[in-house]
Amino acid sequence: NAGVTQTPKFRVLKTGQSMTLLCAQDMNHEYMYWYRQDPGMGLRLIHYSVGEGTTAKGEVPDGYNVSRLKKQNFLLGLESAAPSQTSVYFCASSYPLRGQETQYFGPGTRLLVL
């Protein structure tokens, strides 16, 4: 099992450009999440999904969109990148059963917006 994988690992964008971050998991997890990590602020939830075809906003959703067309994939889109979106992005997944609440994280994507 690869667990949670993220593509790409690193990306540089110019202000106004768009891009999509891909998250894939092979653990058959129902729930998937996108977080961003900024210095001194811990991780903050951007969007999440509780199942295929469903998405919802988290704590800091502005400027991002997501899609969950397949259970194993969760895409995070930036339509018009801004320097404030320079961050490290983490995807996570979990299974919604008692005793299996742990979220498992991908390796992260480092994004620099110039």
Partner 1 sequence: AQKVTQAQTEISVVEKEDVTLDCVYETRDTTYYLFWYKQPPSGELVFLIRRNSFDEQNEISGRYSWNFQKSTSSFNFTITASQVVDSAVYFCALRDNFGNEKLTFGTGTRLTIIP
Q: Which residues of the chain form contacts with partner 1 (CB under 8 A)?
A: 31, 33, 40-45, 48, 50, 56, 58-59, 88, 90, 92, 94, 96, 101-108, 110
Tell me how many degrees the CA angle 51-53-56 measures, rounded to the nearest 5. Answer: 70
Nearer to partner 1, 22 or 104 (CB): 104
Q: Which of 110, 113, 109, 105 is nearest to 29 (CA)?
A: 105
Could you tell me the smallest distance in angstroms from the CB atom of residue 95 to partner 1? 10
Distance of closest approach, residue 71 Cβ to partner 1, in angstroms? 17
CB of 37 to partner 1, least distance (A): 9
Q: How many CA atoms lie within 13 A of 112 on its CB side?
A: 5
